[in-house]
Amino acid sequence: MLDRCPVVPVVVLDDPAHAVPLGEALLAGGIDVVEITLRTAAGLEGLRALGKLEGMLVGAGTVLVPDQVDEVVEAGAGFVVSPGFSARVVDRAAERDVPVLPGVSGATDLMAVVEHGLSEVKLFPAGPLGGPAVVKALASPFSGMRFMPSGGITPDTMGDYLALPPVPAVSGSWMVERTLLAEQRWAEVTARAANAVARARRWREASGRRTGSRT
């Protein structure tokens, strides 16, 4: 899943009416994957609306318990993201046949991930944990694992992560800040998305790796 787009926006939605124009703005900027969090009451309805937008892969974030897996899958989620590792959430996602990215913060979490047969995870919160250095440290004993760092990622630091072979994608919120959505500044969302994809492409080319973006 992480090969689809190198930058995954993490959205905290306050108004479900903003979901479709937001998705259209991201697609115009070259991003066709988005994570809608369940941090607000509008999250589930927004996910349902975005799931109908052609060309956009919509995932649900901040999934904490198995019942939420059922809710988001029925709303059209194409993948599930959690801030930490929950065996029950991972197992329910497997039962519903939907990809899951559990959050990890260290080797103990990764041991549990390996036991469940997963090879892609969300590293959270990546910045406070130590940034690219912690990816390198964890990737050594878990050589087959692929990471999506999240938390503290900025346009200026994303390249440090994407230059690492086990990092096919990063996630962040700078492209979809809540003020941009509240003010319906869709052109700015498109511009930030396009800038992020262009930066990812340059960093990947500089390191001899393909960007993974479909743009």
Answer for the pair 120, 8: CB distance below 8 angstroms, yes or no.
no
Upper half-sphere CA count for residue 76 (Cβ side, 13 Å): 17
Q: Which amino acid is at 84?
A: G
Q: Give the DSSP H/E element, type plus range, for residue 215.
A: none
Distance (Å, whole) CA 70 – CA 131: 33
**Residues carrying an active site annotation:** 35, 122
Q: Which of 62, 63, 37 is nearest to 50 (CA)?
A: 37
Distance (Å, whole) CA 57 – CA 3: 12
Answer for the pair 63, 90: CB distance below 8 angstroms, yes or no.
no
